[in-house]
Copies of this chain bind each other. A is one copy, B any other.
Amino acid sequence: MYIYDLTLTLSGILSFALQAYDRVFSESENSLHTNDFKNTLLKALDRDIIGRLRLQPVKFELKHEIEKPDDPIEHLYFLEEGMASMTTTFKDGSQVEVGMFGYESAIGVSALMGTKVSLNRIYTQIAGHGYSCQVEDARREFRLGGHFQFLALRYVQAQLVQAMQSAGCNAKHNFEQRLARWLLICADRAHTDTFKISHEFLADMLGGRRPTISTTAGILKRKGLIEYSRGEIRILDIPGLMKVSCECYLIIKDHLDNYSKFDTAITA
């Protein structure tokens, strides 16, 4: 409890500082690399590029399927709020999550990598909204080789790290560690500590069975790290969850948080 209060205080200070920071920049209207987007990638782009992408606002409802395997990719999506999962589906119908998308996301970048069709299923886990962009507009901008290309490539790289770390994690870490990791990444991506998701779905994401997740979630609940009821989960103690989670959380978080920063040589 003490630790949690400390976190609140710290984040309070931080958000105050950030608001001040935003005010300074919104006053210098001509400043490059500054706009009102919440999406990491869009936020980092300057006005003319944003203009050329011809963005359209989009709403994402719960369980909306953004990409379907083998379907042609026609749009890129940049989430501002909400969270989406990418899963691989096996022949027996079971699925496992291989990537998460939040406010840092550019969904559909593989279309810029020379692939025409979607490789995996992507669908909304937490309803939200964002922007879409025609894949041709994105391709045209990408080919210019400028900042948009830079960011798209860095983001693909971050996705690769996420997938690789998940591969190792799924092989070595138990469900308590992985559930904690999932909850933390989800909270980060969606900027929220409460979200609607059932044990059934969590089991799919982690590649386990529902009763296993129920007992594992029960352990976290008894430890006072989370609370939940009928599909609604609330995170109570982030530092506590981090202690339970495996190291994979911070590695993935680091890359998803920082891929857009120009001068960072990202080190795990």
Contacts and interface: CB of A to CB of B under 8 A. Distances in A.
Q: Size class of A's contact patch?
A: 35 or more
Contact of A163 (B70, B160, B208): B160
Contact of A166 (B114, B167, B267): B167
A157 B154 CA distance: 13
A18 interface: no
A266 B96 contact: no
Contacts of A70: 267-268
A119 B170 contact: no
Nearest to A166: B167
A179 to B, nearest CB: 13
B207 A168 contact: yes
Interface stretch (A33-41, A86-94, A194-202): A86-94
A98 interface: yes
Contacts of A51: none
A165 B247 contact: no
Minimum-distance CB pairs A-B, first 5: A171-B207, A163-B163, A116-B265, A170-B171, A96-B168
